[in-house]
Chain A
Amino acid sequence: MRRLLYLLPLAAFTAIALWFAIGLTRDPSRVPSALLDRPVPEFALPALAGAGVAALSSGDLRSKVALVNVFASWCVPCRVEHPILMRLARESGLTLYGISYKDKAEDSARFLRELGNPYAAIGHDESGRVGIEWGVYGVPETFVIDRTGHIRHKHVGPISPKDLQETILPLIASLSR
């Protein structure tokens, strides 16, 4: 019994080392959203000129499950994820909203003309002020909003087909039930 007591420091060290080892495998640039499970921030953005869809404000986000995608024409990963958003809008019937972030309206509009517009409404956030309300720190960012207008998930970086299949679509399915 006494012998086992001498193993205690080793056991404690192993536990701490394992704890840190797990911590090291996580990506520190992925910051969990402070807004998770909170209502969407209050905002009202003007429509993106030249995109041909309505403006976006927090009032639009309280009736159905939806995605809010923050994008910009200068953002290279946004181009990478764009085909996925296009397919999602076309095939799933899910409503996608866009926030064009820190971008000139004509550049954002051209981006959508080139690659297609998956968004039902777009708010143009040229100053990035509304982005700060959403805690946006790097585009693209995608939020999953539930029926009551609460943020249920935040995805930082481009959505890969794997993220879509394993995280976002199952979440949307469970929220839509």
Chain B
Amino acid sequence: MKRFLVVLAFSLLAAPALAVLPHEMLTDPAQEARARNLSREIRCQVCQNQSIDDSNAPLAADLRRIVRERIVAGDSDRQVTEFLVRRFGDNVLMRPPVRPDTWPLWFGPAAILVVAGIGLLVFLRRRPAAQAAAPLAADEERRLATLIERKDG
């Protein structure tokens, strides 16, 4: 138990491995935080589906450096991403931009859901309501009564 606790304590102390190397970091913590946030939004072109913040690829390191260069040069976050999009295209963004040509991507699933929902509603309203059960005839009523009596007796 004691050993377990020691192992637990040490594993809680361990920081997750970072691709960002100490010498890459900016001295200004606010700028560094902006760089980290931006890096998470930039796709590494070599190891796709990793952001440059996650990736160990040399190109990702270069891009991290450029993000920091641009920030130090006074670019806004938007200007930094535009700088990269001009060179690598929209593909460099982890999240595709919302534009008329990407509307199907962003709103398509919701649109399909709404259309399907409307279709279902129309279908259910038009379907004739389930028929109410016809009342029992007199002889059926009598038979039922005798059956119940027999069970009780």
Interface residues of A (CB under 8 A from B): 9, 28-29, 31-35, 41, 102, 127-129, 132-135, 137-138
List 13 contacting pairs A-B, 8 Å CB cutoff, sorted by A. Answer: A28-B48, A29-B48, A31-B88, A33-B89, A34-B89, A34-B91, A127-B62, A134-B87, A135-B87, A135-B88, A137-B45, A137-B88, A138-B45
Give the CA-CA distance A33 to B45 in the complex, in Å: 12
Mostly, the A contact residues are loop
On whether the beta carbons of B89 and A138 are closer than 8 Å, the reply is no
| A residues in contact with B46, CB < 8 Å | 137-138
Contact with A along B58-97 (1 / 0, CB 8 A): 1100110010000000000000000001111111000000
> B-side binding surface: helix, strand, loop or mixed?
helix
Residue with the highest number of chain A CB atoms closer than 10 Å, among B46, B87, B91: B87
Who on chain A is nearest to B57 by CB?
A137
Q: Are A31 and B86 CB-contacts (below 8 A) given A128-B62, A132-B62?
A: no
Chain B residue nearest to A133 in the complex (CB)? B87
**Count of chain B residues with a beta carbon within 8 Å of a chain A beta carbon:** 17
CB atoms of B59 and A137 under 8 A apart? yes
Is the pair A132, B63 in contact by a Cβ cutoff of 8 Å? yes
Out of B59, B86, B119, name the residue touching A34 (CB < 8 Å): B86
B59 & A128 in contact (Cβ 8 Å cutoff): yes
Q: How far is the CB of A89 from chain B (nearest CB, A)?
A: 28
Give the complex CA separation of A132 and B65 in angstroms: 12
Q: Are B58 and A102 in contact (CB under 8 A)?
A: yes
Contacts of A28 in B (CB 8 A): 48
**Least Cβ–Cβ distance between A119 and chain B, in angstroms:** 23
Query: Is the beta-carbon distance between A34 and B62 smaller than 8 angstroms?
Result: no
Residue of chain A at shortest CB distance from B91: A31
Point out the residues of chain B lying under 8 angstroms from A33, CB to CB. Answer: 89
